[in-house]
Amino acid sequence: MSENDRILEKAQSWLTGNFDEETKKQVQNLIDNDPTGLADAFYRDLEFGTGGLRGIMGVGTNRMNKYTVAMATQGLANYMKQMFSKAIQMKTAIGFDSRNNSKEFAQITANVLSANGIKVFLFDVLHPTPLLSFAVRHLQCQSGVVITASHNPKEYNGYKVYWADGGQLVNPNDTNVITEVEKIKSIDDVKMTAINENIEIIGEEIDKAYLQKVKELSLNPKAIHSSAGLRIVYTPIHGSGVYLVPQALKEFGFTNVIPVEEQNVIDGNFPTVKSPNPEEPATLELALNKARETNADLLLGTDPDADRVGVAVKNNKGEFILLNGNQTASLLIFYLLKTWDEKGKLTGDEYIVKTIVTSELLKEIADSFGVESIDVLTGFKYIAEVILENEGTKKFIGGGEESYGYLVGDFVRDKDAVISCCMIAETAAWAASKKKTLFQLLIDIYTEFGFYKETLISLTKKGKEGADEIRQMMVNYRNSPPAAINGIKVVKIKDYLTLKEKNFTTNMTSEIELQKSDVLQFYLSDGSKITVRPSGTEPKIKYYFGVKARLTNAAMFDEVNNILDNKVKGIIASMDLN
């Protein structure tokens, strides 16, 4: 059977199965009028990547819709029954964000789980994703589900599954859940009729317990008190941070939080932005205007499910500039370790965690305080996995990834923008107590540890053809790796698919002690690092560029910054990525 025949057969099964008439009408329209759209909608089943199940909303097996959600949930239920057959009561917490259909998909998830005899705790209104992680642990659930597509465009939605530790699914549970989903050949295999007594609505009591734990993270209440009037502009970008972030900042002691009213409106169409991703400068433009108007000291913007946060600060000219994720992570880790050290809390058993694509500056900072730095694959679920593995033996202080996700403390097991907003604001207050801005503190860090600069390029390749092209690009890099990039010799290659590290200086090959992943890293003789990685959640191939140089004093910042910018441009041009 050809691939096109297989796709058609898969689509036709939706015409004869137990699907509603509107769904059948849309599938028939694809068959009759849109062969490319049909292929994209049915050529595969949605898979769990670094962020779980995620895709464009619409009909088809490769789309987010009530049937793919229901089938995934039945697979989860079947796996839970296998794993927790001796449990007196299996329990799952369910949350959702502001996206279109999120509440509906959450209710369907609750219905299916309840129909399978599983106790469900369903949040009453939209909540940040980290609240779901917290609720799983707080309510002693075996699993959790949150309906969100994080920072993706409005057309997307997603389905993140969490396990009993409060972290996202990792191997082998992720693949085992998919195996159970793949066994479901028809929507008729799904138990759809809710058992209402198995569904309990939760909300305020979880919020209170969570906020109390967040407040306990504060390390410098005196610094906050002295800078309580710090002017903080905050935007939830139409998402789920709208209630809890301002409340948490208030609990910390910050009294001057300025809202961006247009973006306090909960709306899954994200009407004031092209994309609700705080990594994109245009997304924070309204907030930047508000910050300039109010002469704010700090800008914080969270994505729709409030697990990522974008930050803007004033430079030495009083102009607002956006920090990238590596810069924010560096400020946060430096503040945490510096304060822990000053308070005599470092015993030698502490550690931080970062992903392999996050700045090496974090490791430099950790090394200077005698704190272990652990690298993991891209995806915060791997940071949660390390926390679980070290529970009871080592102390997790904090961690993060370059894509604007950070965590402090271990009572949440996912990136947490509510915690991050509070701790970033506290870092700003601490810097202010020393007569410095966050920008000046960042330059101090560069002067002490080295000026690290990172840039990311994402190439979008949509649909089946795009996925094939991305696969071939990775094959080409492996079969014909560059000997030099931008005229600078490649001295080491790490291949996380073969788990081999090849050092061309020593001509030695060593093992990489991580799980397999389709990632390549090229290390250059001048200390530059280039990482190539297909996204696990979007139709993109990502290139991460890291360069570094010495910064002898703050006055040299602009000059060295330009040198590093030009180095990155040279690398990009030499790889033909312009």
pLDDT-based confidence at residue 229 (cuts at 50, 70, 90): confident
Out of 150, 403, 420, 535, which one is annotated catalytic? 150
- Strands (DSSP E) along 43-194, which ranges? 53-56, 91-96, 119-123, 143-147, 156-163
* Catalytic residue check, 150: yes
Q: What are the structural domains, with CATH classification, of the chain?
A: 1-35 (no CATH), 44-202 (3.40.120.10), 215-449 (3.40.120.10), 452-574 (3.30.310)
- Distances from the Cα of 29 to the Cα of 34, 66, 112, angstroms: 7, 19, 29
Contact 428, 228 (CB under 8 A): no
Closest C-alpha to 53, from 137, 177, 189, 153 = 177
Closest C-alpha to 395, from 433, 343, 348 = 348
**Rounded Cα–Cα distance for residues 519 and 527 (Å):** 19
Apex 560 CA angle, 554 and 561, nearest 5: 95
DSSP 86: T
36-45, 243-252, 447-456 — which is least confidently predicted?
36-45
pLDDT for the residue 537 = 63
DSSP 178: H
- The single residue listed with the structure tokens 């004869």 is 16
- Six-digit token string for 170: 């990792």
> DSSP string spanning 299-316?
EEEE-TTSS-EEEEEE-T
pLDDT for the residue 222 = 94
**Rounded Cα–Cα distance for residues 501 and 375 (Å):** 15
Closest C-alpha to 430, from 577, 354, 331 = 331
pLDDT-based confidence at residue 428 (cuts at 50, 70, 90): very high
Segment 405-419 mean pLDDT: 98
pLDDT for the residue 346 = 98
- The single residue listed with the structure tokens 């107590």 is 433
**Rounded Cα–Cα distance for residues 189 and 192 (Å):** 9
532: Cβ–Cβ under 8 A, 6 or more apart, which residues?
Answer: 473, 474, 477, 519, 520, 521, 522, 541, 542, 543, 544
pLDDT above 70 (res 73): yes
Peptide bond into 172 cis (omega under 30): yes
- Six-digit token string for 463: 């649909």
- Return the axis-axis angle of helices 102-115 and 66-83, rounded to nearest 10°: 40
- Six-digit token string for 186: 């028809």
- Return the axis-axis angle of helices 361-368 and 438-449, rounded to nearest 10°: 80
**Rounded Cα–Cα distance for residues 178 and 172 (Å):** 10
Segment 490-531, tens digit of pLDDT = 999 999 999 999 999 999 999 999 999 999 999 999 999 999
pLDDT for the residue 47 = 74
pLDDT above 90 (res 96): yes
- Six-digit token string for 202: 């939760």
pLDDT-based confidence at residue 466 (cuts at 50, 70, 90): confident
pLDDT above 80 (res 46): no
Segment 138-166 mean pLDDT: 95
- The single residue listed with the structure tokens 């308070």 is 343
- Distances from the Cα of 60 to the Cα of 1, 29, 57, 159, 385, angstroms: 20, 12, 9, 16, 32
Question: Which of 418 and 54 is assigned the larger pLDDT?
Answer: 418
Segment 307-331 mean pLDDT: 97
Segment 299-321 mean pLDDT: 97
**Rounded Cα–Cα distance for residues 300 and 279 (Å):** 12
How do beta strands 199-202 and 91-96 pair? unpaired
pLDDT-based confidence at residue 51 (cuts at 50, 70, 90): low
Per-position b or e across 196-208, b if 16+ CB within 10 A of its CB: eebbeebeeebbe
Please provide the average confidence, as pLDDT, over all residues in the chain.
95
User: What's at 522, amino acid-wise?
Assistant: F
User: What's at 221, amino acid-wise?
Assistant: P
Segment 305-319 mean pLDDT: 97
pLDDT-based confidence at residue 291 (cuts at 50, 70, 90): very high
pLDDT for the residue 476 = 95
- The single residue listed with the structure tokens 């919020």 is 207
State the maximum Cα–Cα separation within the chain, in Å, rounded to a whole number. Answer: 72
Q: H/E element holding 510?
A: strand 508-511
- Six-digit token string for 368: 């200077």
Q: Is the pTM of this model over 0.85?
A: yes
